[in-house]
Amino acid sequence: MLKASQRGEAMPPSPIRKLVPFAEAAKKRGIKVHHLNIGQPDIETPPSILDAVRHADIHVLAYSHSAGNESYRKKLVQYYHKNGIELDYTDIIITAGGSEAIVFGMMACLDPGDEVIIPEPFYANYNGFAVMAGIHIVPVTSHIEDGFALPPISAFENLITPRTKAILICNPNNPTGYLYSRQEMEQLEDICLRNNLFLFSDEAYREFCYEGTYTSAMHLKKIPEHVVLMDTVSKRYSACGARIGAFITRNKEVYSAALKIAQARLSPPGLAQILGEAAVDLPDAYFDAPKAAYLSRRNTLVARLNAMEGVFCTTPGGAFYVIARLPIDDGDRFCQWLLEDFDYNGATLMLAPASGFYETIGLGKNEVRLAYVINETDIHAAMDCLEVALKSYPGRVG
C-alpha cells in the first residue's frame, strides 16, 4: 500500500486549528462560539488598500520579479526607515505571508540535521516549518511566573552544539505577548556573535507594543550579517488573507540563496503586492485606533481572567495574545469539552491548548492561549462562559 512520506507523517497538526471540527459541530447544534483561539483580528481592513486592488489598471495579471515588485520593495524601505531600520530594497524578498519568509530563512541558512534554539512556548507552526526544512528545534523554556521573559543566556549556552546554527525569536511574542527588552536583545546579539549564529526574528506584531520599547533585531549594530527578519502585513493591517510577507537580510550570500528558493516558486502573490504597497501610504496615525482597541481588550481580558478562582496570567507587553494557567487537568481535553459538552446560555468559547506551543512534552498542560481579537462585549461574554465552565468542568483541579 502506498504511504505518505516520513516528512508528511512527521508534520504536526495545528494546535490552533485541530479543534475546528468540534467548533463547527457546536455551531450546527445552534451554539454560539466565541473565538479566542486564533489571531484573526476583527479590525476592519483599511478600505483604501482594498480599493488599490479593486482599481488597479491590470490587463494581464503577470508574474512579478521573484523578489517581488521593485516598487513595493522600495516602498517598504520607507516603511522600515520610519521604524529605525535602514535597508536597501535589494535586502528584501516579498513572500507568501510571514510563513514563507520563515521557511526561506530556515532553508537558506540551515542544512538538514542542523539545530535552531527557540524560547518556548513558541508559535506552533515553527514545528511544521522545521519539518519541511529537515532541521531540529531545540527549546529553551520560559516561564509564566516571570511573564515568559527571555530565559537566562546561560540556558542558551548550555544547548549549543556543533549543529546549532541559529536562534529564533518572535518579538512581540506569539503566543505569550512578551515584548523583549533592549537588554535582552543585546544579550541575544552577544551570544550570536560569540557563537557565529544566525538570529531569526519574527516581527509580525511590531505595531502593537503597549509597555516598554520595541527593539528590532535589525536595530542591533554588531551582527548585521547574522540577522534575518521575517515579517508580514497580516496582523499589521488586519489583512491575514492577503498572504503577503517579507524575508529581509543584509547578508548577501544568504539573500542570494533565498532568492534562488524564491525563483523556484516563481513569484509572490500579485494582487496582494498592490495591497501591501498601498498600505505603506497609510498615515502613521492609522495604527492609533487598532492599538488602543487591543490595549483596552488586553486589560479587560487580563482583569477578568485573574479575577477567576485558580486562574493566573501575566500582562503581556505586546501582540494580542495571553497565556493563562487554569485549574484544569488537561488543556486539550478541556478545550474539546468546551465545544462538545458545555454551553452557557447557548454559548461557549474556543481556546488554543498551550501544550501545542511547547516542544518539551508535558509542559503547558494546564495552560491555554487566548487571542484578544474580538470586541470587549464578546470578551466579557466569553469570560462569563469560561468562569462557569471552570466551575463545572469534571477535570478541575485545586
pLDDT digits (tens, 9 = 90+) for 32-69: 999 999 999 999 999 999 999 999 999 999 999 999 99
Which one of 281, 308, 325 terminates a domain?
A: 281
Strands in 14-108 per DSSP E: 32-35, 92-95
Residue 16 confidence (pLDDT): 72
Q: Does the residue 397 lie in any domain?
A: no
Residue 18 confidence (pLDDT): 82
User: Number of structural domains, the chain?
Assistant: 2
Convert the pLDDT of each residue in 332-386 to its tens digit.
999 999 999 999 999 999 999 999 999 999 999 999 999 999 999 999 999 999 9
Contact yes or no for 279/51 (Cβ under 8 A): no
Q: Does the residue 221 lie in any domain?
A: yes
- Is residue 234 located within the same domain as residue 354? no
Give the residue numbers spanning the domain of 59: 47-281
Q: Is 130 a residue whose pLDDT tops 90?
A: yes
Q: How far apart are CA 171 and CA 149, in angstroms?
A: 11
Q: Does the residue 12 lie in any domain?
A: yes
Q: Which three cell numbers stand for residue 20?
A: 475546528
The CATH number of the domain holding residue 180 is: 3.40.640.10
Residue 168 confidence (pLDDT): 98
Mean local confidence (pLDDT), 130-147: 98
Q: Hey, what's the torsion of the CAs at 245, 249, 254, 259, to 10 degrees?
A: 40
- Is residue 13 located within the same domain as residue 142? no
Quote the mean pLDDT of the chain. 97
Q: Does the residue 398 lie in any domain?
A: no
Within a 10 A sphere around the Cβ of 115, how many other Cβ atoms? 19
Within a 10 A sphere around the Cβ of 290, how many other Cβ atoms? 20
- Is residue 255 located within the same domain as residue 298? no
Q: How confident is the model at residue 15 (pLDDT cuts 50, 70, 90)?
A: confident
Residue 177 confidence (pLDDT): 98
Residue 212 confidence (pLDDT): 86
- Is residue 257 located within the same domain as residue 369? no
Residue that wins the pLDDT comparison between 14 and 206: 206
Q: Is 204 a residue whose pLDDT tops 90?
A: yes
Q: Which amino acid is residue 210, in one-letter code?
A: Y
Mean local confidence (pLDDT), 256-275: 98
- Is residue 11 located within the same domain as residue 99? no
